[in-house]
Structure formats: C-alpha cells, structure tokens
Amino acid sequence: MAIILGVDPGSRITGYGIIRSEGRRIEYIDSGCIRVGEKVMSERLQAIFHGLATLIGEYRPDQFAIEQVFMARNPDSALKLGQARGAAIVSAANSGLPVHEYSARQVKQAVVGKGGADKAQVQHMVQALLGLSRKPQADAADALAIALCHAHMNAGILKVAGGEGRARGGRVRQQ
C-alpha cells in the first residue's frame, strides 16, 4: 500500500491530490489547491514549500509525484513555474520522500488514454476513476491525475517485476 501525493505546481495556484494505492485498488484521500495570490515571488515559494510540508506532515505520503517543466511560450512563465516546482520538490526531499516526475503527455496518456487530452477530459476521467461525486477543481484534478499516473506506473513496474512489491534488484528506480 502506498499513499501518493501528486502535485501540479504553479506560481499562483499549486494543485495537490492525495490517493492510496494498493495493487489495482485506488482510493481518494484528499485534494485541493495552495493559493498564493499576488505576493512577491519569494513569499509565494515559501507558501508553496510550507503548504506542502503541512500536507506531508498530516497525510504522511510514501511517494511524491510532480509534473515536469514544459517550455511555455513565455520564458518568464517557464522560469516561475520552475521555481514553484523547485519549492515543491525541496519540500518533499526535506521529508525524505522519493520524487517522481512525469510529463504532461505521460499523465494524460495514463489517465485519459491520449496524450493530447484537454483539461475537461482530465477532470472527467479523474472523477470517474476515483468515484468522486463531482469534478475536482482543474488544478486539483491535474494533481490527482499525476498521482494516478504514478500509481499506474508503479503497478506496471511491479507487474513486470513479478508482482511481489519489489522491482528487479529489490528497488524501484526513481525517474
């Protein structure tokens, strides 16, 4: 059994999603957003770091999954996103969590079945896969999708390795 914290980083809104994964059984635990608003960048990064540290302390996840940086049209936006990712990754690393990174295409492929899916499709599939009564907010849905992607990747690794909870060589390689 693993508790997975998925994070969709953003410099103003960072989505988070927490699931429990045991084999093919996946259970929703919590999701939401860390909203940092219009503060100066250093204060936003601090809020992301502390917000995730609080969640890690409360839910005690075993795994941490985050979306990789994509090159946006605006270099300034890409830099801010990278800084938000960095704050999130350091929060996980300080707690001793292994960090796993997935591209947006990998996440969409794992959850929707096609790498070019739009946000509405991701929200719909997250709602369906987790049996939620309503669609989660877009950033929280993306974070849950990242957690689901990691759960699916772990299940695939375990299946290839023989299904006994260990990959070949006794450990799962971090990406």
Active-site residue identified among 22, 27, 67, 142:
67
Q: Would the annotation count 8 as a binding residue? A: yes
139 in active site: yes
Q: Would the annotation count 139 as a binding residue? A: yes
Whether 140 and 15 have beta carbons less than 8 Å apart is answered as yes
Active-site residue identified among 27, 38, 62, 139:
139
Please give the Cα distance from 33 to 16 (Å, whole number): 6
CA distances from 20 to 3, 47, 144 (A): 4, 25, 11
Positive or negative, the Cα torsion across 19, 82, 98, 55?
negative
* SS3 state at 168: helix
Range list of β-strands (E), the chain: 2-8, 13-22, 25-35, 63-67, 99-102
101 in active site: no
Please give the Cα distance from 30 to 92 (Å, whole number): 17
Q: Would the annotation count 58 as a binding residue? A: no
62 in active site: no
Residues annotated in a binding site: 8, 67, 139
Residues annotated in a binding site for Mg(2+): 8, 67, 139
Q: Which residues are catalytic?
A: 8, 67, 139
